[in-house]
Amino acid sequence: MSVITPPTDLLRQQDPKMADVLAGEAQRQAGSLQLIAAENFCSPAVLAALGSAFANKYAEGYPGARHHGGCEYADLAERVAVERAMALFGAEHANVQPHSGSSSVLAAYAALLRPGDTVLAMGLPYGGHLTHGSPANFSGRWFSFVGYGVDAETGLIDYEQVQELARAHRPKAIVCGSICYPRHPEYSVFREIADEVGAYLIADAAHPIGLVAGGAAPSPVPYADIVCATTHKVLRGPRGGMLLCTAELAERVDRAVFPFTQGGAQMHTIAAKAVAFGEAAGTAFTTYAHRVVANARTLAEALESAGLAVTTGGTDTHLICADPAPLGIDGLTARGRLAAAGIVLDTCALPYGDQRGIRFGTAAVTTQGMGEAEMLRIAALFAAALRGEGTRTRAAVGELAGDFPPYAA
Ligand SMILES: Cc1ncc(COP(=O)(O)O)c(C=O)c1O
């Protein structure tokens, strides 16, 4: 089985303990099935940029206006990343500095809102992210969040409810985006509702942005005032965030990132984002993005046939949420049984009821080269693992993973 080895023998000589830890993680990733919907395998070129000399560089500020010296190459790297992001998404402005998806949301709020403002977002029990008003998060502490839900029968966003809540609460901003909604938000409907009540529209596209890049999902860019995103999910870049916005909001967004919510830009990550955007502009990425969705549809259908209750009855994206209750188990038990078989995924909130479900996605296995035949194999292994046949299934999972090494030896 092929794994990513630590970058040099030097690490093993200097720090064998950490070399073992890194090798163990690489082995874990390559030897099991990574179905966490937010994860992927970024390319060796992206990894090279992450481990480059930019890891040493401080670069507070923006290209041409830095607080540190020696930024000529940092400026070049950031300009390339920004230009590529703008071209890839057809955006008037991009900020590639947010350290994470959460940082991008924090900066979007900082650009548009004042503490105490009302924000309408998907409620946490239905799939809103922590940054959409959780009391444990800055968002719930500093803003007054109102949550919309999904239709009890279909699991789809109830746009009439969104409109009613917007009319009743007159929010300063409406957020569309979720951690586990497997369908495309109707961005034009959100825009109409936002316009009707004079609210900003923030699209938190942390999950679908990679599908948008590959033309496999509609883009929020023409509709939202600000789009928040991560670069490490379907988009297959380094762990990080990004903001896209109109030219009109560019200065406010930039100031909201630095100096308001962040200090020095992480230049190694920004360089890696530039590499990932370059990859995402190619035709191979478009093919991959469409395969991610086709694979997710096949997997969702096969698992529904195996008895799982798939929320919304399927998926239009990379992401699937399911309730294993028809099999007599809850999400936590399901995750444990699947983990024992080497199938790695998350639990998630389900729109109704107290039990947790499971959430998984097809980006990483698609990057490995798996197609619809392998999705059917995964569904069979999944079903066997859920029946408690973990040990027997583990060997078959290892074999399947071994046939599709994420990185060449
Ligand atoms: C909708 C949404 N927003 C924000 C985030 C936060 O991203 P990060 O974990 O990079 O902070 C996530 C992460 O999964 C997400 O799904």
So what's the pLDDT on residue 8?
A: 66
**Which is more confident, 3 or 26?**
26
Q: Which residues are catalytic?
A: 58, 60, 204, 230, 233, 239
What average pLDDT does the structure give for the chain?
Answer: 96
CA distance 18 to 11: 8
Atom from ligand 1 closest to the CA of residue 102: 11
Sign of CA dihedral 343, 345, 347, 349: negative
Query: Which segments within 205-317 are labelled E, that is strand?
Result: 226-230, 241-245, 309-310
Question: 231 in ligand 1 pocket by Cβ < 6 Å?
Answer: no
Query: Which segments within 193-337 are labelled E, that is strand?
Result: 200-204, 226-230, 241-245, 309-310, 319-323
Question: 100 in ligand 1 pocket by Cβ < 6 Å?
Answer: yes
Q: What tens digit of pLDDT does each residue of 111-164 get?
A: 999 999 999 999 999 999 999 999 999 999 999 999 999 998 899 999 999 999
- Rounded to the nearest whole angstrom, what is the distance from the C-alpha of residue 129 to the centroid of ligand 1? 7
- Rounded to the nearest whole angstrom, what is the distance from the C-alpha of residue 190 to the centroid of ligand 1? 20
The pTM is what? 0.96
Atom from ligand 1 closest to the CA of residue 207: 16
Question: 317 in ligand 1 pocket by Cβ < 6 Å?
Answer: no
CA distance 212 to 226: 15
Cβ proximity of 181 and 350 under 8 Å: no
* 83: helix, strand or coil: helix
Residue 16 — very low, low, confident or very high, per pLDDT cuts 50/70/90?
Answer: very high
Transcribe 92-148 into DSSP letters: SEEE---SSHHHHHHHHHHHH--TT-EEEEE-GGGT--GGGT-TTSHHHHHSEEEEE
Residue 3 — very low, low, confident or very high, per pLDDT cuts 50/70/90?
Answer: very low
**What's the average model confidence in pLDDT over 299-314?**
97
Q: What tens digit of pLDDT does each residue of 21-63 get?
A: 999 999 999 999 999 999 999 999 999 999 999 999 999 999 9
Closest CA to 202 of 125, 108, 77: 108
Tokens of 270: 């920004």
Residue 391 — very low, low, confident or very high, per pLDDT cuts 50/70/90?
Answer: confident
Share of the chain above pLDDT 70, in %: 98
**What's the average model confidence in pLDDT over 62-89?**
98
For residue 86, is pLDDT > 80?
yes
So what's the pLDDT on residue 2?
A: 37
All residues at 6 or more sequence positions from 247 whose CB lies less than 8 Å from its CB, including other chains: 92, 93
**What's the average model confidence in pLDDT over 342-359?**
91
Site to probe by mutation for ligand 1, drawn from 40, 96, 131 as the one with most ligand atoms within 8 Å of Cβ, is 131
Burial 229-258 (b: 16+ CB within 10 A, else e): bbbbbbbbbbbbbbbbbeeebbebbbebbb
CA distance 337 to 45: 35
So what's the pLDDT on residue 1?
A: 31
Cβ proximity of 234 and 210 under 8 Å: yes
For residue 5, is pLDDT > 50?
no
